[in-house]
Structure 1
Amino acid sequence: MIHTYNVSGMSCDGCRTKVEKTLNAIDEVHAVVSLDPAIATITMENHVPTEKLQEALTAVGKYTIEMSHFTDSSAKIKKEPMEKSIGNEHHQHTGEEMPNSSTEYYCPMHCEGDKVYDKAGDCPVCGMHLEKVSESEKKPAEKPCCSSKKESDKKDVSSTAIAPGKYYCPMHCEEDKVYEKAGDCPVCGMDLVKAPELTVEKPLYTCPMHPEVIQDAPGSCPICGMDLVPMKPVDSEENKTYLDLLHKMKIALLFTVPIFIIAMSEMIPNNPLLQIMDMKIWNWVQFALSLPVVFYAAWMFFVRAWKSILTWNLNMFTLIGIGSGVAFLFSLFALFFPNVFPAEFKTESGTVHLYFEATTVILTLVLLGQLLEARAHSQTSGAIKELMKLAPTEATLVENGKETVISIHDIKKGNLLRVKPGEKIPVDGKISEGESTIDESMISGEPIPLDKKKDDAVIAGTINGNKSFVMVAEKIGSETLLSQIVQMVNDASRSRAPIQKLADKISKYFVPIVVAVSVITFFVWAKFGPEGDALIYGFINAVAVLIIACPCALGLATPMSVMVGVGKGAQSGVLIKNAEALENMNKVDVLITDKTGTITEGKPSVEKVFSTNNQEDDLLQSIASLNQYSEHPLAQAVVNFAKTKKLSLIEVKDFESVTGKGVTGTVENKNVALGNKKLMEEVKASVSEEIENKIIAEQKLGKTVSYISVEKTVIGYVTITDAIKATSVAAIKELMSQGIEVIMLTGDNKNTAKAVADELQLTSFIAGCLPEDKLKEIKRLQAEGKIVAMAGDGINDAPALAQADIGIAMGTGTDVAIESAKITLVKGDLQGIVKAKKLSHEVMKNINQNLFFAFFYNALGIPIAAGVLYPFFGILLSPMIAALAMSFSSVSVIANALRLRGLKL
């Protein structure tokens, strides 16, 4: 059994540790205590009275513990008339109100809400021991306040899931812990990310002339009579975060670049800057320019570093904060007190070498990384937003013969809704009156619109053709298929564990080691250094250790390779969203690919026209002329095919479209019909056994076949197919040769899927897949330890693209698929996956090389900076050499990263 208790009296993490340790010392108790909010979650095999817990805590401090039980003091506590087994007695509740002064008991699990009992015993639902309702628990409990926490109002551990509007750490350091306000993760220091809203907001309307008029439905202004217009949406929070970081990045660059130029000019023979001013003055200029960078643009990094030290959750920000902070403080001290330093540490001009450029460059690079992170998170939630856009905000309600425009939030099950030509279908339901052609490609991923008639189902977010119909609302709100897809995309994107950055892993060991070496250096020099200057030498060399370890090259190692690699990919039509995508792509061993629009062109086209009298062009001219009056996509495919053959269209009389069957008309005084077998039966056209066998053979290949009859005799047929892209075969063959298993998942029928799989020489395919089926298949493969890439182009692919370790979208597909994916192939060509795989491999190899360069100079420089060569050779690492080493490591990293520009994909 699990109980939750409020704990008061804790003011720091030490208090929390003491309370947790004391509770865990009690037999059969396992306690987890949090400081903010101050609660204890206790798991116990047998019920332990609260009094016993309180007794244990009183012995170690002024702590109080009580069962977490909240009731509304304005509400009356009632006991319903139910027979409950309490202890060994049967008690009949009367349902009468119990006075608050009497002794009452409740279930700590609140199995039946706030129901209370007038005797002690066990809960009849869960069997837990009933707790006594204290006088304090009959009032709204106040949340304990921890005086040492200034941001205590940010966290909300009562939530066990990432609810829309809440904030969470993208690294999931504390699993599903959420926060009420934006801020930094207390564990890793990353910016908290806001979980997107999963419901369409109810639109508000205002008058363009009188903005004070705001309504939740369209209409006219009560003041001037003008039509109300939708209010413009405000910028999203993710966009505000990105813009704020972008502003800080511009400030950092504006001041960092001049500092870098001034500092590096010292390495130029006959420094031209010295002809303008003395280096002492230039040092003051560097100091002035560094202030906006340190105390405005990048101040948040020092705050995060300080938090990481307080909590001992050492991370990249610890490394950045210590390195850049010490470099800045050292430079500040050297600027104000240059005479304190020995001559060995001064330049020819008598000034101490400063590290303002190291400070600002490091901070600017880290700020760039944060900017890219903010952009990535904004684009991730953008997939949800794109899906939300599919749902219309309004619908036309048909009631008592009148049509009224209402918000989709006001739709109730059973409402009759009018859907006009070109409109989006508001909710799931079925047609009750009329017929039309519905484009469901955004849901199904299949390009061919479907003919719909009375009693056929329609789906929210799909687009009506050129006819009007009335539908019955059957599923609304979160019940619609579109809402379920939105939820799947959200769940999949939140469940994916981010890659732990290599720099963070290294920093956990690197930071304490460097700090320890620095401290040891100080004490050794203070003890054995030159008499009179021992403390100065100790301080300078201790600082030198920290400066030489400052991760300037480390900050460049990954961003430089990623930026160059991403740029190279863009030139080749491969758009990569972030570094995580590059790393995952290099590890992929299974590729899941959709068929339509991914392997195939994604649009219907005529494969061939067959005629029994070998007059295919004449027959094509007749059916194209017939189809010129139809808006159906299959008809358009026939017309386009005729145009490619430069056939002219002729006049048609008595044209008629037969819903769900085909078209008929009179062409050159002959009755012509084009459609399925049901249409042939309707026009009473005869079909020879030879043609019937040919058509069946085509259908077994999964192709769409339309009969062509002239004067009630079928004399041919037209085969319409979704052609396989010319590059798909070679691309899949190349991927399989690299050891990647390729599996095709499609919503098409088995015949079509098998035909495509055979042509591609694929051994694995699954037909008839719904969006959730694709999602399940990816999860199954991931459970087997596979690294899965998913390539798709439709909305139906969005959940799978989000769940996959690496989602790959066709640039020719929907915005939602592109937003859900980590890699987008602009040309919609599977060869792009081959390029992405090669690019990923080369970039990751390049990053590993950069990390070697970054740490090689540190590993070599730290012992020298500590003074290990001084007893033997009298050599100390001067600041100039330290700066040169850092610069050389950075140059090595940049030069190595730029090699990627010559990569041939």
Structure 2
Amino acid sequence: MKHTYKITGMSCDGCRTKVAHALNALEGVSAKVNLDPPHAILTMEQHVPIEKLQQALSAAGDYTIEMLGHDEGIVVAGGQVPAHGTAGPQLNHHAPIQHNKSHKDDDQQTGHGTYYCPMHCEGDKTYDKPGNCPVCGMSLVKKPALQKVTRYSCPMHPEIIRDSPGSCPICGMDLVPINGGEKEEDNTYKDLLRKFKIAVLFTLPIFLIAMTEMIPGNPLFNVMGLKYWNWVEFALSIPVVFYATWMFFERAGRSIITWRLNMFTLIGVGSGVAWLFSVLALLLPGIFPDQFKTHAGTVYVYFEAATVILTLVLLGQLLEARAHGKTNSAIKELLKLAPNSATKIVGNQESTLSIEDIQKGDLLRVKPGEKIPVDGSIKVGAATIDESMISGEPIAVDKQAGDKVSAGTINGNKTFTMLAEKVGADTLLSQIIEMVHTASRSKAPIQKLADKISGYFVPIVVVIALIAFTIWAIYGPDPAYVYGFVNAIAVLIIACPCALGLATPMSVMVGVGKGAKSGILIKDAEVLEKMNKIDVLIIDKTGTITEGKPSVEKMVSTSAQYAEKEMLQMIVALNSHSEHPLAEATLKYGKEKAVQAKAVDKFEAVTGKGVIGEYEGQSLALGNEKLMEQVGAVIAAGLLKQVTDEQKQGKTVSYLAVGNAAVGYIVISDKIKQTSAEAIHRLQEEGMEVIMFTGDNEATAKAVSDTLHLNGYKAQMLPENKLEEIKRLQAQGKKVAMAGDGINDAPALAQADIGIAMGTGTGVAIESAAITLVKGDLNGIAKARLLSHKVMRNIKENLWFALGYNVLGIPIAAGVLYPFFSVLLSPMIAALAMSLSSVSVILNALRLRNAKIHFSS
């Protein structure tokens, strides 16, 4: 049984997690908790009293639970989840839950899109306007609109603007869609790029000034003294601190207020203290002991340490902002599949209208080569439809009157009339677009190891600094407070996370470059952490295991009268007049065998059966068994058995009949790539389960699975089937990777823990995946796994380097050596320790350039 309950008291994703944990801990209860709107869907083996549910929540925090009334429901995009029973409308069951109304309505009414935090701090909560996340401070990301622009203009006369396509009344040129003004750009990325340029512009001279102090006979001192150069550094640091990187201090402050300590906490505290210490040293040098002063009488300043740290972190944020656009790019690729207009039939008249103006029940004409505008069925005529974007299969499908057709698929060489049955968001293409977006959002970013360390490291360092100050203030020599203050600052400076912040991105940066040189394009840095944990690999058949295009496997003659070359001559002659995709495969095969097409008379294409014609006075027929029956050609028992055996393996077979007898057949299939078997065997040896999902038929799927000794397979899988199966595996605790190359694979690629696209595949599959294998070779997955292992090991080494200096330096900075050796660690030495740890991290990361990730065949 399944019930929906209203939860009150939840204010953030942490609350949602607590509530979910408390409810799922109850025996026989499976709970799914959402934050906005605050509700829980509980699946129970036996009814659990609400008092027991409340008792579990009260133990977790100040939360209350109540059952919704029978007339209540949780409003979602596309419908309402009932208070009792199963989920609501099937159409949009992948859509993210919204509050009060769908954001599709917001888009139409306010002009704003749906914005969400890329860190998902508040679960699925969304906003109508751009801005920063109120929890973590990250810039909100916009979900692309699923509707296309409907206004049109003349490219030669932009003053001509129309609401529907047509021709320009001035010059007659076809009107083109307007993008709604300028093409929407990634404003977050552009803003960060501008700030990064400013930060580099001012940080570089600060760094150079500071470094020249180490040069004997520094030429800069001939211009003016060190005191004045310190003022120059101060002036140059102001744009960096208060403009280019001020957001880091805002995020640090927010992390302290919410007590969600992270890397920004360390960055804000460490660099902020370094900068403030430097300002204090500049303004009040007299309060510092002599041992903290230079030979020129000035106190050491650390403007270069603060600004360099902030600029490097800004570079990391810049790279991260680019990564956040991956999902949007995938959806934009999908949007390109939808046509802009359609031809509507009203009576005997045809008119062109925008795709968004099509209504259910409209009659539409689809011409050769056009994309199907909406989902529906063929009313009049027949066609050969390229449905590879849905099924992933390269062989086009013959359609008759009454057969279903889907939006975005491509018509072949015939005109037909169709009835519009599903329009707008109801079409299969729109659902795939929504699934890609939802699956991508559902993957919350993993908690970085550095952030985990920061959660403990930050409060420990602050406590140590306070303890050091207190001890020095009570027991230290005069001026005790100054000594305490300086040593506390030294502790914070040595704990500054320059190397800790570099530890992960440096290894990732070098690892990504190494992968690119090996034909492995990594778009999501998180994949390098996840790849080594994968235990199930889902692979598509067409274009992943196989070549992805139909080709002639073999030709067999069963008549002593005709040799195979003569048969091929006849087949090439017939198919030279055909536009069917299978005909192209035979013509290519004939070209490889140097067979020239000869003349054919009385050629006719028989829809759904094959082709017929006369060749050198003989009647020829090439097609399926139904065509043989139509032309009265006899199929010998032995020939029928051979063809049946081939068809059981899922291959496409066409008989060739000369006169009234079938004399042989030609087999067309999608060949398995030479590298597939080797790669699959290697992955299985590493403990991975390799399972194939394909839209092809059961016989073909079984034949391929048996040939490659896969761990399992599922046939006739639609995009939603692949998506749900991956969710099922993930619910079992499996870490799932998905490798595919088609549009139909895009939702599954986005949902999987790691999506792997073949570089030979479609743009949307590549955009939806975290990894792209340039050569489309499954061996690349084994290479990516090995690269993941090496990068993760390198990151852990870097973290030890980063923390090693700090852990050793913190007690020294606190002054533990002073009672024994009268030694204090000045902030200058603390900054040097930071530099050494950074150099160690960088050098260690660069070792990845020489890592071996290739396999010998």
Q: When the two structures are superposed, what TM-score results if normalisation uses the length of structure 1?
A: 0.81
Which residue does 2:198 correspond to in 1? 251
SS of the aligned residue for 1:715 comes to strand
Which residue does 2:61 correspond to in 1? none
Which residue does 2:810 correspond to in 1? 862
Which residue does 2:529 correspond to in 1? 583
Which residue does 1:734 correspond to in 2? 682
Question: In the TM superposition, what are the counterparts of 1:433-472 in structure 2 within 5 Å?
Answer: 433-472=380-419
Q: Cα–Cα, structure 1 residues 664 and 277, in superposed 2: closer, same or farther, change >3 Å?
A: farther
Match for residue 324 of structure 1 among 271, 277, 281: 271
Question: In the TM superposition, what are the counterparts of 1:676-695 in structure 2 within 5 Å?
Answer: 676-695=624-643
Which residue does 2:519 correspond to in 1? 573
Question: In the TM superposition, what are the counterparts of 1:782-861 in structure 2 within 5 Å?
Answer: 782-861=730-809
Asked if residue 264 in structure 1 is aligned to residue 216 in structure 2, the reply is no
Q: CA deviation at 1:293?
A: 1.7
Which residue does 1:756 correspond to in 2? 704
Amino acid across the alignment from 1:545: V
Q: CA deviation at 1:743?
A: 0.6
Question: In the TM superposition, what are the counterparts of 1:419-568 in structure 2 within 5 Å?
Answer: 419-531=366-478, 533-568=479-514
Amino acid across the alignment from 1:655: F
Amino acid across the alignment from 1:336: L
SS of the aligned residue for 2:691 comes to strand
SS of the aligned residue for 2:711 comes to coil
SS of the aligned residue for 2:542 comes to coil
* C-alpha distance in 2 between matches for 1:875 and 1:503: 31
SS of the aligned residue for 2:545 comes to coil
Amino acid across the alignment from 1:250: K
The structure number with the bigger radius of gyration is 1
Amino acid across the alignment from 2:241: V
* C-alpha distance in 1 between matches for 2:262 and 2:742: 39
* C-alpha distance in 1 between matches for 2:299 and 2:386: 73
Asked if residue 631 in structure 1 is aligned to residue 582 in structure 2, the reply is no
After superposition, what is the alpha-carbon deviation per residue over 1:499-527, rounded to whole angstroms, capped at 9, x for unaligned?
11222222222112111211222222222
Contact 1:857 1:886 in 2 (8 A): yes
Amino acid across the alignment from 1:433: V
Farther off after superposition, 235-244 or 479-488 = 235-244
* C-alpha distance in 2 between matches for 1:157 and 1:487: 14
- The answer for unaligned runs of 5 or more in structure 2 is 13-34, 41-48, 52-66, 74-81, 85-96, 108-112
Q: CA deviation at 1:863?
A: 0.7
Ranked by relative contact order (alpha carbons within 8 Å, sequence separation 6 or more), the top structure is: 2
Which residue does 1:138 correspond to in 2? none
Q: CA deviation at 1:673?
A: 1.9
* C-alpha distance in 2 between matches for 1:396 and 1:413: 14
* C-alpha distance in 1 between matches for 2:83 and 2:568: 74
Which residue does 1:299 correspond to in 2? 246
* C-alpha distance in 2 between matches for 1:896 and 1:615: 66
Contact 2:248 2:264 in 1 (8 A): yes
Asked if residue 609 in structure 1 is aligned to residue 552 in structure 2, the reply is no
Q: CA deviation at 1:473?
A: 0.8
Runs of 4+ more than 6 Å apart:
1-6, 107-110, 160-164, 222-226
* C-alpha distance in 2 between matches for 1:234 and 1:268: 55
* C-alpha distance in 2 between matches for 1:243 and 1:606: 51
Q: Cα–Cα, structure 1 residues 310 and 622, in superposed 2: closer, same or farther, change >3 Å?
A: same
SS of the aligned residue for 1:398 comes to strand
* C-alpha distance in 1 between matches for 2:268 and 2:191: 21
Contact 2:149 2:180 in 1 (8 A): no
SS of the aligned residue for 1:172 comes to coil
Farther off after superposition, 235-244 or 423-432 = 235-244
Contact 2:5 2:68 in 1 (8 A): no
After superposition, what is the alpha-carbon deviation per residue over 1:31-67, rounded to whole angstroms, capped at 9, x for unaligned?
xxxxx99x999xx989xxxxxxxxxxxxxxxxxxxxx
After superposition, what is the alpha-carbon deviation per residue over 1:88-129, rounded to whole angstroms, capped at 9, x for unaligned?
xxxxxxxxxxxxxxxxxxx9979499xxxxxxxxxxx999xx
SS of the aligned residue for 2:653 comes to strand
Q: Cα–Cα, structure 1 residues 630 and 274, in superposed 2: closer, same or farther, change >3 Å?
A: farther
Q: Cα–Cα, structure 1 residues 160 and 824, in superposed 2: closer, same or farther, change >3 Å?
A: farther
* C-alpha distance in 1 between matches for 2:71 and 2:574: 68
Which residue does 1:131 correspond to in 2? none
* C-alpha distance in 2 between matches for 1:160 and 1:319: 40
* C-alpha distance in 1 between matches for 2:171 and 2:663: 66
Asked if residue 777 in structure 1 is aligned to residue 725 in structure 2, the reply is yes
Q: Cα–Cα, structure 1 residues 821 and 4, in superposed 2: closer, same or farther, change >3 Å?
A: closer
Contact 1:161 1:177 in 2 (8 A): no
Match for residue 352 of structure 2 among 383, 396, 405: 405
Asked if residue 666 in structure 1 is aligned to residue 614 in structure 2, the reply is yes
Asked if residue 712 in structure 1 is aligned to residue 680 in structure 2, the reply is no
Q: CA deviation at 1:347?
A: 3.0
After superposition, what is the alpha-carbon deviation per residue over 1:636-668, rounded to whole angstroms, capped at 9, x for unaligned?
111111222223332333222222111222333
- The answer for unaligned runs of 5 or more in structure 1 is 7-11, 14-35, 47-106, 114-124, 128-155
* C-alpha distance in 2 between matches for 1:600 and 1:355: 60
Instruction: Give % identity.
Output: 65
Which residue does 2:364 correspond to in 1? 417
Q: Cα–Cα, structure 1 residues 126 and 501, in superposed 2: closer, same or farther, change >3 Å?
A: closer
Q: When the two structures are superposed, what TM-score results if normalisation uses the length of structure 2?
A: 0.85
Contact 1:548 1:858 in 2 (8 A): yes
* C-alpha distance in 1 between matches for 2:509 and 2:433: 31
Farther off after superposition, 234-243 or 511-520 = 234-243
* C-alpha distance in 1 between matches for 2:702 and 2:5: 53
* C-alpha distance in 2 between matches for 1:489 and 1:237: 20
Q: Cα–Cα, structure 1 residues 160 and 788, in superposed 2: closer, same or farther, change >3 Å?
A: farther
* C-alpha distance in 1 between matches for 2:160 and 2:595: 59
Which residue does 2:314 correspond to in 1? 367
* C-alpha distance in 1 between matches for 2:494 and 2:783: 39
Q: Cα–Cα, structure 1 residues 482 and 288, in superposed 2: closer, same or farther, change >3 Å?
A: same
Farther off after superposition, 699-708 or 206-215 = 206-215
* C-alpha distance in 2 between matches for 1:857 and 1:684: 88
SS of the aligned residue for 2:687 comes to coil
Which residue does 2:126 correspond to in 1? 178
Amino acid across the alignment from 1:609: M
Which residue does 1:81 correspond to in 2? none
Q: CA deviation at 1:630?
A: 1.9
Contact 1:522 1:538 in 2 (8 A): yes
* C-alpha distance in 1 between matches for 2:433 and 2:306: 44
SS of the aligned residue for 1:649 comes to coil
Contact 1:159 1:177 in 2 (8 A): no
Q: CA deviation at 1:323?
A: 0.9
Q: CA deviation at 1:330?
A: 1.2
SS of the aligned residue for 2:672 comes to coil
Q: CA deviation at 1:629?
A: 2.1
* C-alpha distance in 1 between matches for 2:222 and 2:592: 73
* C-alpha distance in 1 between matches for 2:186 and 2:598: 55
SS of the aligned residue for 1:693 comes to helix
Contact 1:591 1:788 in 2 (8 A): yes
Q: Cα–Cα, structure 1 residues 664 and 220, in superposed 2: closer, same or farther, change >3 Å?
A: closer
Contact 1:427 1:476 in 2 (8 A): yes
SS of the aligned residue for 2:137 comes to coil
Which residue does 2:54 correspond to in 1? none
* C-alpha distance in 2 between matches for 1:771 and 1:602: 17
Question: In the TM superposition, what are the counterparts of 1:96-111 in structure 2 within 5 Å?
Answer: 111=71
After superposition, what is the alpha-carbon deviation per residue over 1:579-616, rounded to whole angstroms, capped at 9, x for unaligned?
21111111101101111111111001111111133722
Amino acid across the alignment from 2:344: L
Match for residue 640 of structure 1 among 581, 585, 588: 588
Amino acid across the alignment from 2:139: D
Asked if residue 871 in structure 1 is aligned to residue 823 in structure 2, the reply is no
Contact 2:165 2:341 in 1 (8 A): no
* C-alpha distance in 1 between matches for 2:173 and 2:634: 62
Farther off after superposition, 662-671 or 844-853 = 662-671
